[in-house]
Amino acid sequence: MKIKSAEFVMSNSDVEKCPKSRLPEYAFIGRSNVGKSSLINMLTQRKSLAKTSGRPGKTQLINHFLINKNWHLVDLPGYGYARVSKTAKKVFQKFITQYFGLREQLVTAFVLVDIRHNPQPVDLEFMQWLGENGIPFSIVFTKADKLKPKAIENHVEAYKTILLESWEDMPNYFITSSSNETGKDDLLEYIDELNNN
């Protein structure tokens, strides 16, 4: 799929105020600093459509972007950032629960995990939660430019082993890098297929 247009629509802390249109929607979620906003910029070929930062906790709101005038990409705040207060964590949990509970437009979520790390409980618990709530998701491994192919393979295997303990199949997954555009075409093709279903 070619990206012909990508526009920022709005930022919200209230799910009820998100766009009312029925356009298909794809949400990017994962730990703080995993590369959600960078991935959105890479996919849309816009350098600073989504705001990125080296400091975790940059994205604080639900951000909608309209792509090719017919689908939405959603940039969500990260979870699992230790230096956030308990209250902030609660607020975050509430609006993420609301987001996934209320957005009927959501076709699938992309759960981003840093390819350099071994499977982390916070990510596995989040995937479990999505599964229990019947929310389809794919895994997106990020920052693949930081590892050699063999190490990438090992990390993916580690995920497969642990996920297959509680899931029948390994969820769909993508290996990406926002620095060198690895995985861009595969991800866009996947979204295109879902849009046309």
What residue ranges bind ligand GTP (CB under 6 A)?
32-38, 52-54, 56-59, 77-78, 142-143, 145-146, 177-179
DSSP conformation class of 94? H
Residue 15, class by beta-carbon neighbours within 10 Å (0-12 exposed, 13-18 middle, 19+ buried)? middle
Nearer to Mg ion, 38 or 105 (CB): 38
Q: Which two tokens stand for residue 195?
A: 């849009």
Does the protein bind Mg ion through residue 37 (CB under 5 A)? Answer: yes
Is the Cβ of residue 117 or residue 195 nearer to ligand GTP in the bound state? 117
Smallest gap, in angstroms, from Cβ of residue 143 to ligand GTP?
4
Q: What are the distances in angstroms from CA 9 to CA 17, 69, 169?
A: 12, 11, 36
The widest CA-to-CA distance across the chain, in whole angstroms, is: 45
The CB-nearest residue to Mg ion is 59
By CB under 5 A, tell whether 108 contacts Mg ion: no
Among 33, 41, 44, 59, interactor with Mg ion by CB under 5 A: 59
Query: Do residues 61 and 99 touch, judged by C-beta distance below 8 A?
Result: no
Determine the Cα–Cα distance for residues 128 and 131; give it in Å rounded to an integer: 5
Q: Which does 46 bind (CB under 5 to 8 A by kind): ligand GTP, Mg ion, none?
A: none
- Please choose which of Mg ion, ligand GTP, none residue 138 contacts, taking the beta carbon within 5 to 8 angstroms, the exact cut-off set by kind: none
Tokens of 33: 């600093």
Least distance in angstroms from the C-beta of 45 to ligand GTP: 15
Which CB atom, from 130 or from 147, has the smaller least distance to ligand GTP? 147
HSE-up (13 A, CA, CB side) for residue 7: 7
Q: Does 41 bind Mg ion (CB under 5 A)?
A: no
The residues that touch Mg ion, with contacts defined as CB under 5 A, are 36-37, 58-59
